[in-house]
Amino acid sequence: MKRTIPLVLVFIFGLLGFIPFIVPHEIVQSSDDFLRNNFLKILAAFALILGLGSLLRVHIDKIKRKGQNWPYSWVLIITFLVTAIIGLFGGVTGQGVLPTRIGSFSFDIWTIFFNIEVPLGATMFALLSFFMASAAYRAFRARSTEATLLLVAAFIVMLGVLPLGNSISPHLPSFAQWIMDVPNVAAQRGILFGVALGMLATALKIILGIERSWLGGGGE
């Protein structure tokens, strides 16, 4: 029962997801719309609570057992709580019950997001440019014909997409564009076919109950 009920639900809701694509009848379309807007949407909201709960549990456990870098878990929990309180009670536009302004200094949710999360997130990825330059220098070797072809294509695209390419030769940008339009599309399409067939096979296996790894482990 503990495995049968979920498998039956997957099958039923799989059909409910599939049928509206092939049956354009008004009743089918309206029912599908109703199911999505009034049922599935709410389930997604609860899924966040699960994710959040897991995150908090990991960090609370770390604090309890004094795991590695446990003080930082306090930082995470406190910043989460402060941001959530400001957002929930201060409102999306800072017009909620909690005041989010002291004089001209505003600390509404959007200001916090834009001045803390954006720079932190953006800079994390900005680091990658340094690592990429270093890795490219150390690892990109023309060891074989294939590797040489890869490097040559990379150089043509790197030069061709920028104004410098036009200065070197007016045909270079067009050649770089041709590489993207023809050989790149051929390769990506070949890979895409394989991925799509795999996705279809996996989807069918899940709906038909052949693929059961999502149920989790254990004999139950």
Partner 1 sequence: MNISLDPWVWISALCSLAIFSFLFRDNPVYKLAEHIFVGVANGWAVTFYWHNVLEPSLVDPLFRHGQLLYIIPCIVGMLYLTRFIPKVSWLVRIPIGVSMGYAVGASIPATAQAYIIKQIQGTILTPHNFASWNAGTMGIVWSIILFIGVLCTLSYFYFSKEHKGALGIASRIGIMFVMIGFGAAFGYTAMARVSLLIGRLQFLLGDWLGIIN
Partner 2 sequence: MKFVDYLTKIDRRIIYVILLAVVVLPLLFPSALSVRVMPPVEKLFHAIDAIPEEKALIIDFDYDPQTLPELEPMGFAILRHAFSRRIKVLALSLYVQPLGLAQNALIQVTEEFNSTAQTNRDSVIYGRDYVFLGWQPPPLIPILGMGESIINVYRIDYYGNRTDTLPLLKEIKNYSDIALLVSISSGDPPKWWVEYAQNRFGLQVGAGVTAVSASEFYPFLQTGQFSGLAIGMKGAAEYEELVDNQLHVAGRRKASEALPSLTYAHLVMIAFIIIGNIGFFIKRRQK
Tell me which stretch binds partner 2 (CB under 8 A): 5-13, 68-76, 154-162, 201-209. 154-162
Residues facing residue 102 across a β-bridge: 105
Contact status, residue 16 vs residue 23, Cβ threshold 8 Å: no
Could you tell me which of 7, 2, 9, 13 has the C-alpha nearest to residue 210? 7
Q: Is 18 helix (H, G, I), strand (E, B) or coil?
A: helix
Q: Which is nearer to partner 2, 67 or 148 (CB)?
A: 148
Q: Which does 169 bind (CB under 5 to 8 A by kind): partner 1, partner 2, none?
A: none
Contact status, residue 89 vs residue 96, Cβ threshold 8 Å: yes
132 alpha-carbon distance from chain centroid: 21
Indicate whether 141 belongs to the interface with partner 2 (CB under 8 A).
yes
Which one of residues 25, 29, 30, 52 is an interface residue with partner 1 (CB under 8 A)? Answer: 52
State the Rg of the chain over Cα: 26
Q: Is 105 helix (H, G, I), strand (E, B) or coil?
A: strand
Q: Which 59-78 residues touch partner 1, going by CB under 8 A?
A: 69, 72-73, 75-78
Binding residues vs partner 2 (CB under 8 A): 20-21, 29-30, 32-33, 36-37, 40-41, 44-45, 48, 91-93, 110, 113-114, 117-122, 124-125, 129-130, 132-134, 136-138, 140-142, 151, 155, 158-159, 161-164, 166, 173, 177, 180-181, 184-185, 188-189, 192
